[in-house]
Chains A and B, each alone.
Chain A
Amino acid sequence: MKKIIACVAIIGLLAGCAQPIPPEALQFQPDTLANRQLQSRKYDIKSEKELLSASNNVLQDMGFNLDESNMQLGVIVASKSRDATEAGQIAGAMFMAFMFGANAASYDKTQKIRASLVTKPASTNNPIEVDIKTKSGKQIKFDQQVEMPNSYVVRVTFQRLVWNQKGIMTKIEGINEPEIYQEFFDKLSKSIFLQAQNVN
């Protein structure tokens, strides 16, 4: 019986050779807008450069190391490695080890946290909407966003990769806890204020 289960499991794994991509992966979802609002905040600041440098300081405050940056596009990418152990999981692992031997135990050990921060000029809430008809009778609709001076939007997104004590990857996920984003933007507000005052 065990052999049959093993055989089925192996076949299942091999069939995984050509996994299809989930259909919703590249489509906007109902929560897309809510996530965008959660991950973005608008700041009134003179230049995008100042905003990026304040953001970079906050990321450094949080222990992130810079991986990639592009000033012209307003992109900063940073990451850090951290411990991932949780008390509850360790207890669970000990129980599993006790019941089924040491090999059955698995708990999260390390994680890599990645952050990408993107700035862009803020646009007005009311895009210019023009509805015109061309000579050939073709209906064209413009609704172009208008950029606001001295106002920029920061959007930050976090994700993490988790490995267990055996070095096997256990989780790859986006981080969507509202508190994390709120705290990040509070820190960024302070950083921008301090930078404007020239205080370190």
Chain B
Amino acid sequence: MLIKENPLRLAIFGAICSMLLLSGCQTMKERVLDSSADGQTSVQLRSMQTRSFDTSDKAKTMRTVIATLQDLGFVVDKADLDLGSVSATKLSGYALRMTVSVRPSESGKSMIVRANAQYNNAPVTEPKPYQDFFVSLQKSLFLTANNVD
């Protein structure tokens, strides 16, 4: 067998294998800037991470965001009303970290909520987890989540 006969061949085989597997990973520049490798634009990312809610109460929206995160098993890391930002981490065999920011829309009649998540050491870029989060949030907020253009 190839493996038994020649350790050098095994090493080369191993190296090629890992190169193929690692080619999916990114360079440092891409990692710092998260300039997506899979061709996703920041507009797409924003639209899946953002919803608007018909309320003008920033503090209440933030309190509801915190309550929702707690319901989902998160422990709060940081919260700042002036900046409108909350960070929380969920540990359950994995580490899921989220930052949710709340800001009033230009008209002042609605609140724009944006969430971004990181799962272990990778950004979450699929739409489904964000959809789940906003479904959970709108249940707690008694308001409908609207898409933002």
Which positions in A face B, CB cutoff 8 Å?
Answer: 3-4, 7, 10-11, 14-15, 17-23, 25-28, 32, 35-36, 39, 67-68, 70, 72-75, 77, 114-116, 118, 120, 142-145, 155, 157-161, 172-174
Q: Given A3-B10, A68-B79, A75-B79, are A27 and B136 neighbors across the interface (CB < 8 Å)?
A: yes
Q: Given A18-B24, A27-B136, are A11 and B17 neighbors across the interface (CB < 8 Å)?
A: yes
Residue of B nearest to A69 (CB): B79
Q: Given A17-B24, A118-B76, A172-B95, are A73 and B142 neighbors across the interface (CB < 8 Å)?
A: no
Residue of A nearest to B140 (CB): A28
How many residues on chain B are close to A (CB under 8 Å)? 51
- Cross-chain pair count, CB within 8 angstroms: 132
Which positions in B face A, CB cutoff 8 Å?
Answer: 3, 10, 14, 17-18, 21-22, 24-25, 59, 62-63, 66-67, 70-81, 86, 88-96, 117, 119-120, 122, 124, 126, 128-130, 132-133, 135-136, 139, 142
Is A11 within 8 A of B21, CB to CB? yes
Interface centre among A14, A25, A118, A172 (most CB of B within 10 A): A25
Is B72 within 8 A of A28, CB to CB? yes
Q: Pick 5 A–B contacts, CB within 8 A, sort by A.
A: A19-B122, A26-B130, A39-B70, A73-B79, A157-B70
Is A70 within 8 A of B132, CB to CB? no
Q: Given A14-B22, A27-B132, A143-B142, are A75 and B76 neighbors across the interface (CB < 8 Å)?
A: yes
Is B63 within 8 A of A74, CB to CB? yes
Residues of A within 8 A of B22 (CB): 14, 17
Interface centre among B71, B80, B86, B93 (most CB of A within 10 A): B71
> Whole-angstrom distance between the alpha carbons of A35 and B96 in the complex?
19
Residues of A within 8 A of B75 (CB): 77, 114-116, 157-159, 174
Residues of A within 8 A of B77 (CB): 67-68, 77, 116
Residues of A within 8 A of B136 (CB): 26-28
Residues of B within 8 A of A11 (CB): 17-18, 21
Is B71 within 8 A of A28, CB to CB? yes
**A4 contact from B3, B74, B132, Cβ within 8 A:** B3
Is B126 within 8 A of A21, CB to CB? yes
Residue of A nearest to B74 (CB): A157
Q: Given A18-B122, A172-B91, A174-B90, are A25 and B79 neighbors across the interface (CB < 8 Å)?
A: no
Is A22 within 8 A of B94, CB to CB? yes
> Whole-angstrom distance between the alpha carbons of A120 and B136 in the complex?
19
Residues of B within 8 A of A26 (CB): 72, 117, 129-130, 132-133, 136
Is A27 within 8 A of B135, CB to CB? yes
**A25 contact from B10, B67, B129, B139, Cβ within 8 A:** B129
Q: Given A21-B129, A118-B76, are A72 and B24 neighbors across the interface (CB < 8 Å)?
A: no
Is B24 within 8 A of A19, CB to CB? no
Residues of B within 8 A of A14 (CB): 18, 21-22
Is B21 within 8 A of A70, CB to CB? no
Residues of A within 8 A of B24 (CB): 17-18
Is A173 within 8 A of B133, CB to CB? no
